[in-house]
Amino acid sequence: MKSQENIAAHAKEYLLTNKEQMILFLNELVSIESPSDKINSQHQILAYLRDRFTAMGYLAIHMSGKNTGGYLYARPKNRKKHLPLQLLIGHCDTVWPLGTIDKMPLTYIKGKIKGPGVYDMKAGITQMVFALMAIREMNLTPKVEPVVFINSDEEIGSRESTNALKRLAKLANRAYVLEPPLGLNGKLKTARKGLGRFTITVRGKAAHAGLDPAKGVSAIVELSQQVQRLYAMNDLDKGISVNIGMIEGGISPNVIAPLSKAVIDVRVLREADGDVITKKIKALKPIHKDVVMEIEGGIGRPPMEKTPRNQLLWKMAKKQGQQLGLDLEEATSGGGSDANTTSLYTATLDGLGTPGDGAHAAHEYILQNKLIERTTLLMLLLLLEPLNEKT
């Protein structure tokens, strides 16, 4: 039986030999622009990925969505049914509109690969494909069957794909999420904040601001008082943030505002805190007796907490990193991903993508020399023994 050191060395050698193919594949993914709101573009990139996995000996199925491009599900055709499952999770959608590639062309400069979506997260998909290829070409047999899930709506909340992901996560022994890591040193994400979105609509009474101001009831004044209540819910020491990010209201400067609205972003580190904040927001009552207030929304992505099983998987990953001379670190992310969902049902490790910077920014890039290193790490993680139990 090959030692872990030998496997790591041979994997790096294989990937270095195929480095040009990896770069070409990444180029192709970035060149196929795939904004979340363009279904036809999503179908194009998912078809490209489906064909690639099929050529690798996988059963690959593209499940179309109603309002999105859907998702890709892939597993080995000759799967061993007695083996537990491990999920490889990524998303092919980006925040960049069609035509961005003309303004932000794929470039190579000073060890960086720059381009729209290269960091978040087409490099991660590249790692996924080539880690599985390396395992096949080296005639290695994972003891946990890899199952691939790539959706096209992660950047807009994974609303259509979440139910399918939940079903898979409930069956899985563990889940690896190929989102970008934190920082240039590539910290793995072992916790993520949960995300909530709420809308408060206030209905007052219009009146002429000069002739009959006393007959009006200002929805803007009411909302401004509610904003202070919302702001008081912040508790940064507990990781709770309540941000009133958008406000609108009124119809004219000379009219007492009959309508106003606020959109609130809520972030929490613990599911229990999300429940508490949700109850507090939903319990808000009008201060002025003649206004009507409507409150909608809730926590859409529960937090990825540092559960015992998640920490066990992290410690296993840290040990594998040492085989590659890496001193991996863990970190908590303020943003959400599909790891928030899988963590509810199975051991989850996130941030396994390639280090770089500029997610959703014009300088988006990855560090080219880290692509093979992180692909090798992923391959070693795929060869780990199954977790003993789902605690």
Q: Please write the tens of the pLDDT for every residue from 170-188.
A: 999 999 999 999 999 999 9
Domain ranges of the chain: 4-192+303-382, 194-301
Helix (H/G/I), strand (E/B), else coil: 356: strand
pLDDT at residue number 2:
58
Flag whether pLDDT at 52 surpasses 90.
yes
pLDDT in tens, 99-111: 999 999 999 999 9
| pTM given for the model | 0.92
Q: Which CATH number does 194-301 carry?
A: 3.30.70.360
Flag whether pLDDT at 391 surpasses 60.
no
Residues 6 or more apart whose CB falls under 8 angstroms from that of 264 comprise 196, 197, 198, 199, 200, 230, 242, 243, 244, 245, 281, 297
Average pLDDT of the segment spanning 125-142: 97
Write out the H or E segment, with its range, that includes residue 296.
Answer: strand 292-301
Average pLDDT of the segment spanning 34-58: 97
pLDDT at residue number 3:
66
pLDDT at residue number 138:
95
Q: Using an 8 Å Cβ cutoff, are 323 and 5 in contact?
A: yes
pLDDT at residue number 179:
98
- Percent helix, strand and coil across the chain, each rounded to 5? 40, 25, 35
pLDDT at residue number 327:
97
List, as one string, the DSSP characters of 98-113: TTHHHHS--EEETTEE
Nearest-10 crossing angle of helices 371-382, 308-323: 120
Beta-bridged to residue 217, according to DSSP, are 205
Flag whether pLDDT at 1 surpasses 50.
no
The CATH architecture one would assign to domain 4-192+303-382 is 3-Layer(aba) Sandwich (3.40)
Flag whether pLDDT at 286 surpasses 80.
yes
Pairwise CA distance, residues 157 & 336, whole Å: 9
Name the residue among 128, 105, 131, 130 with its Cα closest to residue 116: 105
pLDDT at residue number 79:
82
Average pLDDT of the segment spanning 245-255: 97
145-151 and 188-192 beta bridge pairing: unpaired
Flag whether pLDDT at 357 surpasses 80.
yes
pLDDT band at 389 (very low <50, low <70, confident <90, very high): low
Helices (H) and strands (E) in the chain, counts: 11, 16
pLDDT at residue number 164:
98
Flag whether pLDDT at 153 surpasses 70.
yes
Q: What is the mean pLDDT of the chain?
A: 96
Average pLDDT of the segment spanning 45-58: 98
What is the rounded radius of gyration, in angstroms, for the C-alpha atoms of the chain?
24
The count of other CB atoms within 10 Å of the CB of residue 265 is: 14
pLDDT band at 267 (very low <50, low <70, confident <90, very high): very high
